[in-house]
Structure 1
Amino acid sequence: MSLHDKLNEDMKQAMKSKEKDRLSVIRMLKAAIQNEAIKLGKKQLTEDEELTVLSREVKQRKDSLHEFEKAGRDDLVAKIQSELVFVQEYMPTQLSEEEVEAIVSAVIAETNASSKADMGKVMGVLMPKVKGKADGSLVSKLVQKHLS
């Protein structure tokens, strides 16, 4: 089942069970995917493009969550946390730090990287392998650790 179909099914279910918060997030995700399709001039996005949109939405919420926590806006923190839970339901299963570290080690060996100057080369090969399955900041931190 494609993400578009899953969102439609979940939207119907959320309407029937009167889950306003979930319905709001699903509509927002559908709009984000539709906007990306329009921007790219396509009728339907590929799975990879849909994953990019979902990753962007998760990152936006995490950034907002951090800012709201810093500002002491507990009302908005709770709202963003619940949205984040709903959005993450559509993301692939996240890799553990150990799994990411193993992939980082393999890519560093594969690219013969030895210093921080090779970080761009490593990240270029690594990110497509972990796209949507690992947080970019974690990946970057692990690459820097291995290359230092």
Structure 2
Amino acid sequence: MSIEQRVTEEMKVAMRAKDKVRLIALKGIRAAFIEALKEDGSESLADDRATTILRRLAKQRRESIEAYEQGSRADLAALERAELEVIDAFLPSLADEETTRAWVEEAIASTGASSPGDMGRVMGALMSAHRGDLDGKLANRLVRELLGS
């Protein structure tokens, strides 16, 4: 079952359970999927495209949580956290720090990088090889650390 189909099924379950917060999050996901379908002009959404959309939605929620917490709006931050949990349930897990470090070391070796100026090449190699499996912020930090910047 595709991610798009799972979201639709979960919407039905949330409606039957009268779980409003979950339903709102799922409707937001579904709306983003429909928007992408219209942009692409296709009938169905590939899982890799759906994952990209979900990652974007999760990032938006994290940024909102941070903004609400800075503005002392714990109530709104809690709603965003609940939506983030729903979104995260559909995302494949990202590689842990140990795995990411191994990939970074491999990318540094394969690109022949030796200075902070080579960071772009290393990140490019990493992202092309492990897109979707890798936390970009963590990879960026590890590349900087290993290249000594």
Q: TM-score, normalised by structure 2?
A: 0.91
- Whole-angstrom CA distance in 1 between matches of 2:21 and 2:132: 24
State the distance in 2 between where 1:123 and 1:12 align. Answer: 41
Give structure 1 stretches of 5+ with no counterpart: none
1:77 equivalent in alignment to 2:61: no
Give 1:104's aligned residue: 104
Unaligned runs of 5+ in 2: none
Matches within 5 A, 1:84-103: 84-103=84-103
One-letter amino acid of the counterpart of residue 119, structure 1: M
Distance 2:73 2:58 in 1: 19
Contact 2:95 2:135 in 1 (8 A): no
Q: CA deviation at 1:143?
A: 1.2
Counterpart code for 2:88: Q
What is the aligned partner in structure 1 of residue 68 from structure 2? 68
For residues 17 and 133 of structure 2, the distance between their equivalents in structure 1, rounded to whole angstroms, comes to: 30
CA displacement at 1:37 relative to structure 2: 2.0
Cα distance in 2 for partners of 1:129, 1:20 equals 39
Are 2:30 and 1:30 aligned? yes
- What amino acid does structure 1 have at the position aligned with 2:53? V
Distance change >3 Å, CA 128–CA 91, structure 1 → 2: farther
Partner of 2:3: 3
Secondary structure in structure 2 of the residue aligned to 1:89: helix
Q: Which residue of 1 aligns with 2:137?
A: 137
Indicate the larger mover: 69-78 or 127-136.
127-136
Question: Kindly tell me: are residues 128 and 15 of structure 1, through their superposed partners in 2, closer, same or farther at Cα, counting changes over 3 Å?
Answer: farther
Q: How many residues align?
A: 148
Work out the CA distance in 1 between the residues paired with 2:82 and 2:24.
11
Q: Give the Cα separation in 1 of the matches to 2:40 and 2:116.
A: 34
Q: What's the counterpart of residue 46 of structure 2?
A: 46
1:95 is paired with a residue of what secondary structure?
coil
Percent of pairs with identical residues: 38
Q: Is the 8 A contact 2:4 2:47 kept in 1?
A: no
User: TM-score, normalised on structure 1?
Assistant: 0.92
Partner SS state of residue 132, structure 1:
coil
Deviations 1:47-99 (A, max 9, x none): 22111101100111111111111111111111111111111000002221112
